[in-house]
Amino acid sequence: MTVKYEINPQAIEQESFRQIRALTDLASFDREQQQVVMRIVHSVGIPEVAKEVRFSSGACESGIAALSHDAEILCDVEMVKQGITKRMISQPPSCYLNDPRAAELAKEAGETRSMAAVELWREKLAGSVVVIGNAPTALFRLLEMIEKGAEKPALIIGMPVGFVGAAESKQLLWDVHQQLGIECITLLGRQGGSAVSAASCNALLRCIRGEYY
């Protein structure tokens, strides 16, 4: 079998984003927002998803500033943690889902481990970048904590995927972000996931390094 295909990684990436720009309506987004949206589209292969992306007024600016100063990156699941590009950060992201304390707390409270793991974020929340790509219950719990006085992250990237609670948790984030005084990026509806949320964080890290497409 003989098949001709592109093997140069730079050429593949450049052509991918050329096509994404051609196929995606980016007119309503500023320069940094466009980088995030294009990475989301690249992750799911669906240009139309751009219509469901939402940014709070200072989301990109706050996220970029925090990441520029080596802010803590808090992830709901290991897949999100592993998706953050390591060459762009000086310390590994944190994920407590598999921490034994999370399992104990979840059992005691009769709730998900994702919810319990978020409780372990408390001391690191202030000025952090939170990346939630899998668990709606993690996003619900985080919003509850902030409403009750927990420290605020610099940015919440909230993009859990699924059919139970995913769309509702993201809609709640969008509905209350101004009231709670938090910056956020979200993808409304059922779509989302670890790759999408990690890609959004990576887009901001690339902006810091001047890697624009």
Catalytic residue chosen out of the listed positions 20, 34, 42, 72? 42
Residue 55: strand, helix, or coil: strand
Distance CA 127, CA 117 (A): 18
- Return the CATH fold of 44-208: Rossmann fold (3.40.50)
pTM of the model: 0.95
| Strands 184-187 and 53-55, sheet pairing | antiparallel
Annotated active-site residue 177? The verdict is no
The model's confidence at residue 4, banded by pLDDT at 50, 70 and 90, is confident
Contact status, residue 21 vs residue 45, Cβ threshold 8 Å:
no
Alpha helices in the chain (DSSP H): 9-23, 31-44, 59-68, 78-83, 100-109, 113-119, 136-147, 166-180, 194-208
Count CB-CB contacts under 10 A for residue 132. Answer: 31
pLDDT digits (tens, 9 = 90+) for 142-198: 999 999 999 999 999 999 999 999 999 999 999 999 999 999 999 999 999 999 999
The mean pLDDT of the chain is 95
Distance CA 68, CA 136 (A): 28
Contact status, residue 135 vs residue 162, Cβ threshold 8 Å:
no
